[in-house]
Structure 1
Amino acid sequence: MSVNARSGRSVGHAIQQAVSGVNNHLLECQSAMNQHERSMSELVERRGQSLLHLAQHYLPNIDQQTIAGSFGEVRNQLADILGRKQRHEREIERTLQADAAEESRLETELEEITERLNEKVARREELEKVVAQRLETDEEFQRLSKEALIAEKELNRNEQRVAEIQSEAAEKLPSYEKSRLFKYLHDRAYGTSEYMKTGLTKTLDGWVAKMIKYPRARRSYDFLRVTPELVAQEVIRRRDQFNGLMEQVEAIEDRYDDEVGLTTVMREGQEVGDRRDRVVAAISNQQALTDKHRQELITLEGSQNEYYQEAVSRMKVFLSNLEDWRLENASRSTPEPDDDEIVAEIVRLGKELNENKQEASKLTHEHQVWRERTSDLQAVWQQFHRGDFDSSRSYFPYDFSIESYLEEFVRGRIDRDQLWSAIRSAQEFAPPWYDQPPTRRDRHYQGDFSHVLMRVLLDIAGQALENAARRGMQRRSPIRQEQRRQKGRPGFSSRGFTDGRGF
């Protein structure tokens, strides 16, 4: 990685801090909503008491004890509903605390695994260089590799020839087989020792053969019919020869891999890489679960939940005869000032409740905004992990200011896709050792094969046999992978130790 670059890990830490920040905003919103709900409960209680006092004051024809009893009953019912709702909320809050603890544990585990994986990658590259140096100085390896490359070149030429002949045969054979005169002579084996006709028949057959130039036509027909199979057999022979040579070449590489410890590092690295992929997936699943629990809590704090609907239905009957305007009109018709004071208190509390409802709507909207931002930023964080952007090979331009992009996101000026696009377009991976100068950068080491072997073979091949080396590695890739699997050896992957490209 260039010294004039910013590491992927530092960018990842900035994103992680931003995730923590939006989570704190979300918790603050949650706390404000909880406080607001407590205030609303107090206002409802005080307003209910005032309604009861007023009902007892100006409705003498109704048994006051009955009114008090009815109100006490509905108040107890509401208290029971509120209690069940609060217990449900506390249960979800405990679940969210457990979610946060599990996310923290997984993030810590991921950091530890990533550190171990970076160490395995560094060790792998160190040992790969050692193996490459040994292969470059191994005379038997050099000889077998050149023979294998030449064999591949011939194999490819034969395969092309088979394809050309098969295409030509498919095009021309039907015309011979549709010719009645040609088929007549051919079926009678004209021109061969098997031809038994005599006399006039032989004379006429000779005249027909001369007319259609049968001898030349038969030679062409036999060539088109027989040659594809002959060349195909040669292809099989060439392929067996190539595979035999490559197996010897690969055996030498395997021997050096074992001697220097690269095989062990490959196996351990793949195990750690698999574990990292599992932890990354577990974090993603856990965050989805956390988001689900947050949404459940938001639903409880709104008006679209079972507790709210139950409370409304219980209050409708009791309050249907005690609405503010009815009580206010009744109080004005009586000369006593006491009821006016009670009604004024009811009206004031009603206004406070309306104001609190508006404030509750704002808080709910703000909470929803921060919940979405938290979810979106965590999604970006997961994409960062899945892409291996936090690996030691990952880097960004030195002047890439992830903090500015994160601030724009937190302020709502850019969305998740824009943030991720900025990160993805700026990120790069340092090339592995085998694809660094002075080697050619246009070699494109893509494929599930040994990149060490590919590097050495390309050096041996030179420009004349470069294509043969590439084709040969692609030919051998599935065969060698299966052979390694059967022997219990670690396989090769173009993506390294993980599903991403950073390890």
Structure 2
Amino acid sequence: MSVSGPQAMRALDDALRDIRREEDDITKRIARANERVGKLRETESGQLRALAAVRLSPDVQSELAGKLSQAETRAREMLKNHAAAMADMEKTLAAKEAALAKLSTERQELLENAAEWQAEIDALDAPVKAALANDPAYGGLIAERNETEKVAIEADRKADMAEADREEKGRPYRDDPLFSYLWDRGYGTVDYSAGNITRILDAWVARLVGFAKARPNYAMLIAIPDRLREHAEKLAQDTDALDTRVNDRERAALDAAGGGKARTAIEAAQARVDAIDAELLTIEDAREDLTEKQKQIADGGDPTFAGAVDMLAEAIGGTGIEKLLAEARATRTDEDDAIVVRLEQTRRRITEEQLELDDERSRLKVLEARRRELEDIEFEFKKSRYDHPRSRFGNDKLVGDLLTEFLKGGMTAAAYWGQWRQSQDWTGSSGPIVPTSRSRSSKSKGSFPLPPGGFSPRPPSGGNWGGFSRPRGGGMSGGGFKTGGGFKGGGFKTGGGF
């Protein structure tokens, strides 16, 4: 059973939402555990005061109780402020999460609507092809465009060869220090300037290395590639201009066949999806910063919370109570023995809470890494336009067993993305050709190996759902029909980039 692009996009969105929700839950559990540790420290100090009341003289007991009580009061107030900060942070994050969910839902609805409009356009495939086949101007444009592209490709190849020659054949010139010296000074040109003695010495060096004969050869060697590259780029621009004219003809044929309304709707949907992607990235970046702050506060990174715990622990640790505990265990006094038992239970609970905290911290770290990897995959999914209504995936396990395996850590992000790439195909009238992805920037925080083709740089904001240029070889321009190198073998696409 195949999975459509919009269906796959929804599955990835749902998985990301679940991961973020679990991250929030773990963060809250860490915060509650830290608060429990703080309260257990208060209980511990109270039990120590009770033990001191039994074992110490009245003067020493009074001094100890006052010291602990003061520390407890201040720590309790700090913990209260800490809890309030956590509550505010959770409220802000909930608002961000709601905004993300709302935008994702709107985006998904746009994709689903676009699939229906695309079906209307696909149904007009035959009459549009017939109209274009009977349009001599269209046939002439296709021929001109393909010939121009052919020449542009050859010009690009020659420019590449010339640049390679410049690097290889120019190396002996650049490696000769005397030739490089004269070249850098502009010797033999109107730019050369030097005193009489220097001119005499430079002339001697020029005769020594045969500069007069070598200079024009090197000048031509380094200039030709630039001229060829300029020519190739001009031909590429001419091809793009012809692409635009071809797309205009195809749009006109589609509109004449009754597809104008659907095409306009798809273009509007694409524009809105681009805007949504920009909003999503902006909110995700803001949410990421808030999440980091929330985790710091929850895990005692907040100076207020850390100060409360440290102050209370210092007060408890500076009382010399360990000796009292040893003495209490050695006596048969029921009262101090009972206090010691409760104190030991309290400290055991503190140890258990600390172990649970360590476990939750480890889980959160793993989950955070997995979420960032999935965000990277989702971004590349959109960049490759795999969420397109015409996009199909033959392996439905990608949104089932394989997704679960990836989330559990049984599959690397690179391997999971490779499965998406291998399974993907296009349906309908000759689907889009996706540009080759470029290398990934440091903006995204994923750490897995790059898949074939690399990951695309994730911008701070702004999406890439529909805006790309026609690749060399007869691809699709940003918002046009796909000619496929000519009418007979190509078909058409909507003008909105779908």
TM-score band by shorter chain is: 0.5 to 0.7
3-state DSSP class of the match of 1:428? strand
Higher alpha-carbon deviation: 79-88 or 129-138:
129-138
Separation (CA, whole Å) in 1 of partners of 2:475 and 2:142: 24
Cα distance, 1:83 vs structure 2: 0.8
Letter in 1 for 2:287: T
The change in CA–CA distance for 1:433 and 1:323 in structure 2 (over 3 A counts) is same
Letter in 1 for 2:496: F
Structure 2 segments unaligned to the other structure (5+ residues): 159-241, 433-471
3-state DSSP class of the match of 1:407? helix
In the alignment, is the contact (CA less than 8 A) between 1:36 and 1:360 conserved in 2? yes
Cα distance, 1:47 vs structure 2: 1.1
The reply on whether 1:497 has 2:483 as its aligned counterpart is no
Q: Which residue number corresponds to residue 459 of structure 2?
A: none
Which residues in structure 2 correspond to 1:40-439 (within 5 Å)? 40-60=37-57, 62=59, 64-126=61-123, 129-138=126-135, 141=137, 145=140, 256=253, 259-260=256-257, 266-315=263-312, 317-331=314-328, 336-397=333-394, 400-430=397-427, 432-433=429-430
Separation (CA, whole Å) in 2 of partners of 1:402 and 1:326: 62
Separation (CA, whole Å) in 2 of partners of 1:455 and 1:309: 64
Q: Deviations over 1:7-29 (max 9, x none)?
A: 33343344344334434543553
The reply on whether 1:446 has 2:475 as its aligned counterpart is yes
Cα distance, 1:394 vs structure 2: 1.0
Letter in 2 for 1:270: E
In the alignment, is the contact (CA less than 8 A) between 1:446 and 1:494 conserved in 2? no
Cα distance, 1:51 vs structure 2: 0.9
Separation (CA, whole Å) in 2 of partners of 1:280 and 1:288: 12
- RMSD of Structure 2 on Structure 1 (CA): 4.4
The change in CA–CA distance for 1:326 and 1:148 in structure 2 (over 3 A counts) is closer
Cα distance, 1:402 vs structure 2: 3.6
Which residues in structure 2 correspond to 1:30-41 (within 5 Å)? 30=27, 32-41=29-38
The change in CA–CA distance for 1:359 and 1:248 in structure 2 (over 3 A counts) is closer
Separation (CA, whole Å) in 1 of partners of 2:407 and 2:249: 56
* TM-score under structure 2 length normalisation: 0.61
The change in CA–CA distance for 1:247 and 1:38 in structure 2 (over 3 A counts) is closer
Identity of aligned residues (%): 20
**Paired residues, number:** 370
The change in CA–CA distance for 1:78 and 1:444 in structure 2 (over 3 A counts) is same
* TM-score under structure 1 length normalisation: 0.61
- Which has the larger Rg? 1
Q: Deviations over 1:223-257 (max 9, x none)?
A: xxxxxxxxxxxxxxxxxxxxxx9999999777656
**Greater RCO structure (CA 8 Å; 6+ sep):** 1
Separation (CA, whole Å) in 1 of partners of 2:397 and 2:329: 71
Letter in 2 for 1:445: G
Separation (CA, whole Å) in 2 of partners of 1:18 and 1:87: 30
Letter in 2 for 1:96: L
